[in-house]
Amino acid sequence: MNDFRPEKVKRTGFVEKWAKAEQTSAFLGISLYAVIVFCIALLVMLFKVSTKPQSIYYIPSAQEAGVAYPNRIDKAVVCGFASNWLLNRNNFTPLTVKDTYQRAMRYMAPGLLSRTKASLEDEISRVTRDNISSLFSLSKDPESENSGTDFKVTLIGEKIIFMGKEKLDDRILRYTMTLQRIPPIETNPYGLVIAGVKQEEVETQ
C-alpha cells in the first residue's frame, strides 16, 4: 500500500512581493501627503493675493470716465498734465511761491531739476523780498505731439507780473514743453515728468 504524502506547495517570492507592496503603499502615502500640503499652500497663497489691496492710479481732474490701456497715455492726459503744471508754476504770491515751486519741482525730471533748482531758489527769495505776484491764464487750447520717445506740448497764455498792487509786466507767452514717461507712482499717478521748458514771447498786433 502506497503511503499518501501531500505535496508541499512552495510559494516563491511571496515575502518579496509583500515587501514591495508595502514600499509602494508608503510611497503613495507620502506622495498623497505632499500633494495635500502643496494644495493647502497654494490655496493660502491665492487667498493672500486675492485679499491684498492693489494700488489704483487715478488721473486728477479727469472730466469723464474712460478705459486705461497699459503703456498708453491719452493725448488729453498729456495736455492736462502740462497745463496743470504750467498754471501751478506761473500763479503765485509771496505767501504761496515756496509751496508752488515745491509742487512744480516734484514733477520735474532729474536733469531739468538739477539745471534749474538754484535759479528757482533765487527766484523764491526775490519774489518774497520784492513782494512779487504772478497771474497766468491760458488763451488757447494746448497742442501736443508724440515723437514715440517723449511728448511736445505747446501752450500759449497771458502772464501778468505785479509788485504789490502795481502791474509791472503783461505779456503773451508761448511755452514749448517736453514731457517724458516714467512708471506711475503714488506721488505721480500721471506717469509723466517735465524734461524741458522753452519760453518765448508772442508778438501781438
Whether the CB-CB separation of 188 and 58 falls below 8 Å is answered with no
Domain-embedded: residue 168: yes
pLDDT digits (tens, 9 = 90+) for 4-20: 555 544 454 655 666 66
Domain-embedded: residue 99: yes
- Lowest average pLDDT, out of 25-29, 59-63, 85-89, 120-124, goes to 59-63
Residues 36 and 107 in one domain: no
Give the global pTM. 0.65
Domain-embedded: residue 65: no
Domain-embedded: residue 184: yes
Residues 97 and 197 in one domain: yes
DSSP SS3 for 107: coil
For the cut 70, the answer to whether the pLDDT of residue 205 exceeds it is no
For the cut 60, the answer to whether the pLDDT of residue 151 exceeds it is yes
Name the residue with higher pLDDT: 46 or 36: 36
For the cut 80, the answer to whether the pLDDT of residue 29 exceeds it is no
Residues 152 and 93 in one domain: yes
Domain-embedded: residue 153: yes
Q: Residue 114 belongs to what domain range? A: 75-201
Domain-embedded: residue 64: no
Q: Report the percentage of the chain scoring pLDDT > 70.
A: 77
- Kind and range of the H or E element at 155? strand 151-163
Number of domains forming the structure of the chain: 2
Q: CA-CA distance, 140 to 154, in Å (whole number)?
A: 10
Residues 112 and 36 in one domain: no
pLDDT on residue 56: 46
**Number of Cα atoms under 13 Å in the Cβ half of residue 186:** 2
For the cut 50, the answer to whether the pLDDT of residue 58 exceeds it is no
Residues 132 and 32 in one domain: no
pLDDT on residue 48: 72
Residues 97 and 38 in one domain: no
pLDDT on residue 163: 93
pLDDT digits (tens, 9 = 90+) for 66-112: 555 555 678 888 999 999 999 999 999 999 999 999 999 999 999 99
Residues 48 and 81 in one domain: no
Whether the CB-CB separation of 174 and 180 falls below 8 Å is answered with no
- Give strand pairing partners of 138: 157
- Lowest average pLDDT, out of 7-21, 149-163, 166-180, 190-204, goes to 7-21
Radius of gyration in angstroms for the set of CA atoms belonging to the chain, rounded to a whole number: 37
Q: CA-CA distance, 145 to 155, in Å (whole number)?
A: 12
pLDDT digits (tens, 9 = 90+) for 123-143: 999 999 999 999 999 999 999
Domain-embedded: residue 138: yes
Residues 31 and 92 in one domain: no
C-alpha grid cell, residue 64: 469723464
Residues 87 and 136 in one domain: yes
For the cut 70, the answer to whether the pLDDT of residue 35 exceeds it is yes
Q: What is the mean pLDDT of the chain?
A: 82
* Among 90, 113, 84, CA closest to 162: 90
Q: Average pLDDT, stretch 47-73?
A: 55
Residues 47 and 79 in one domain: no
Domain-embedded: residue 175: yes
Residues 104 and 180 in one domain: yes
CATH number of the domain to which 126 belongs:
3.10.450.230
